[in-house]
Copies of this chain bind each other. A is one copy, B any other.
Amino acid sequence: MPRPDPPAPVLAWETLLDLSDAPLPLRDRLERAVRGAVQAGRIPAGAALPPSRALAETLGVSRWVVTEVYGQLVAEGLLEATVGSGTRVSASSRPVDPGAPEAPPVRAEYRRPRYDLGPGVPDLRHVPRARWADAVRHTLTTLPDGEFAVVDRLGHPLTRTAVAAYLTRSRRAVAAPDDVVITHGATDAMTAIARGLHFAGHRTLLVEDPSWPRLREVAASTGLVPVPVPVDADGVDVDRLAAAAVRTGARAALITPAHQFPTGAALAPARREAIVRWARSVDAVLVEDDYDAEFRYDRRPIAALQGMAPERTALIGSLSKSVAPALGLGWAVMPAALRERVRLGDAARPSTLDQVALARFIDSGDLERHLRAARGRFRRRRALLLAATARELPDLEVTGIAAGMHGVLALPPGVRGADAAEAASALGVAVSALTRYRVSAAAATPEALVLGYGNLSDALVDEAVERLARGIRSLA
């Protein structure tokens, strides 16, 4: 029998954690008790929690209950699990003001899985909460009274200016303030662009196969039929794109040149030139989804394609992958000639307050400070992930991981991605098959898994990959 870890020295855990919240399952009672004790400040930031085995003994519960609860609260960021030093209350966990209403409980549907390898989620433990609060307060303090009466349809001038400058320096985009439209995010931008394309007579949209479903779905909902074009290791196949355009009459394409989703390929230089030549030759519109281009590790940043053909490229981006979806902020860059072709509709845009806070967040340098810190975190986590896969799955290759927050793990012959994802799920690991993002059922999408690491806790990388490997081996 393993020797129990020594109990934590100072705190009287059985008193601190009141489990008498009767009608709930024991696991939920413990979770509530730990959360309540941290939020009330009874367990201070930085304090070590007892090892799971010790706490289970103290409280007379099964060890599984404790590890589950620790895992959940680590995933929420309330606790931190560090290799070698156990589980602690996060330094960033703030006791709720005494007297203030309790923090909202995490709703079950928004609990992220413990071993979270889902793509497209930023590191929720490191949302720049205080910096964003500062940007909002600064805006509320300095905004002239008259501005509180209005909402700009295309974006506040301060925000359009700040975003144009940011994209010019960080994405080498060609963007004047008037070319920028502030949106709620990429989906909002795509909805407006798709409506505009439909209005201008488009009925089809060339899309990469595989690709992120959400944007093609909103395009489809406005009446644009998606036309799939295959993707390989050099990104979207431009010859086949041109052929599909001839076949269908399509004159608009939705592409992810910096870091193809989900394969992770960067569009090869020759293809970048080829797609621009194609677009010019048939007077087409390119919609560039620049979803996670801020994060690049192995090579120098790839500039936005938009800079090569600003007159016909709508560049869309957002804070959702780089900061947090909950801020509901993004943009589209469209030079005037394109804006006239792509009418933006009159959907409600973000509030003046949020827009000016975004301008402040960029102009103060906070956005780029946050991105630098996130880049460092993701680089380290990516190294952990690659080391763990090399160790646990030495025969399998991880590709598409030069940028962004995900890579692609090729599966052994005979193992289907969907089955591997299901086997991983049974072991508590959330991961998706590459085929999930397939557009055409006939597409030759490789059997592989998309490994997102944006929101995976560093401390859980090894465990997650070990479980994942176990799942894959059970099928091979």
Which residues in B have their C-beta under 8 angstroms from that of A223? none
The interface residues of chain B lying within 8 Å CB-to-CB of A158 are 104
From B76, B103, B221, give the contact of A346 (CB < 8 A): B221
Q: Which residues does chain B contribute within 8 Å of A100, judged by CB atoms?
A: 138, 142
User: Nearest chain B CB to A41's CB is how many angstroms away?
Assistant: 13
The reply to whether A147 and B352 form a contact with Cβ atoms under 8 Å apart is no
Asked if A144 and B106 sit within 8 Å, CB to CB, the answer is yes
Question: Is A247 part of the contact surface with B, judged by Cβ < 8 Å?
Answer: no
Report the nearest B residue to A127, measured CB to CB.
B148
CB of A468, distance to nearest CB on chain B (Å)? 21
Indicate with 1 or 0, residue by residue over A131-147, a CB within 8 angstroms of chain B CB atoms: 01100111011111111
Chain B nearest CB, measured from A132 CB (Å): 6
A354 within 8 Å of B (CB atoms):
yes
| Chain B residue contacts of A377, Cβ below 8 A | none
Q: How far is the CB of A155 from chain B (nearest CB, A)?
A: 13
Which B residue's beta carbon lies closest to that of A131? B140
CA distance A125 to B121 in the complex (A): 40
Q: Which residue of B lies closest to A136 (CB)?
A: B136
In the complex, are the beta carbons of A324 and B104 less than 8 A apart?
no
Number of interface residues of A (CB under 8 A): 71
Instruction: Kindly state whether residue A124 has any CB partner on chain B within 8 Å.
Output: yes
A140 with B130: CB separation less than 8 A: yes
Identify A141's interface contact among B105, B129, B146, B188, CB under 8 A.
Answer: B129
Query: A183 — which chain B residues lie within 8 A by C-beta?
Result: 348
Interface status of A9 (Cβ within 8 A of chain B)? no
- Contact between B325 and A353, CB atoms less than 8 A apart: no
* Contact A348/B351 with A142-B103, A143-B104, A150-B326 known, Cβ cut-off 8 Å: no
Give Cα distance in the complex from A133 to B138, angstroms.
9
CB distance from A59 to the nearest CB of B (A): 23
Q: Closest approach, in angstroms, between the C-beta of A113 and any C-beta of chain B? A: 10
Q: Which of B107, B110, B145, B455 contacts A127 (CB 8 A)?
A: B145
Contact with B along A164-199 (1 / 0, CB 8 A): 000000000000000000011101100100000000
Q: Which of B106, B110, B149, B351 contacts A328 (CB 8 A)?
A: B351
- Measured between beta carbons, the chain B residues less than 8 angstroms from A110 are 144, 146-147, 149-150
Q: Tell me the complex Cα distance, A142–B130, Å.
A: 11
| Contact A145/B133 with A138-B100, A348-B348 known, Cβ cut-off 8 Å | no
- Pair A354/B356 contact, Cβ less than 8 Å: no
B141 touches A94 (CB 8 A): yes
Extra pairs beyond A101-B360, A122-B149, A149-B324 (13, CB < 8 Å): A75-B146, A97-B138, A101-B364, A104-B142, A110-B144, A112-B149, A129-B141, A133-B136, A149-B326, A150-B326, A184-B351, A327-B353, A328-B352
15 pairs of residues in contact across A and B, judged by CB atoms under 8 Å: A75-B146, A96-B142, A101-B364, A110-B144, A127-B145, A133-B133, A136-B137, A148-B326, A150-B325, A151-B326, A151-B328, A187-B348, A191-B346, A327-B351, A328-B354
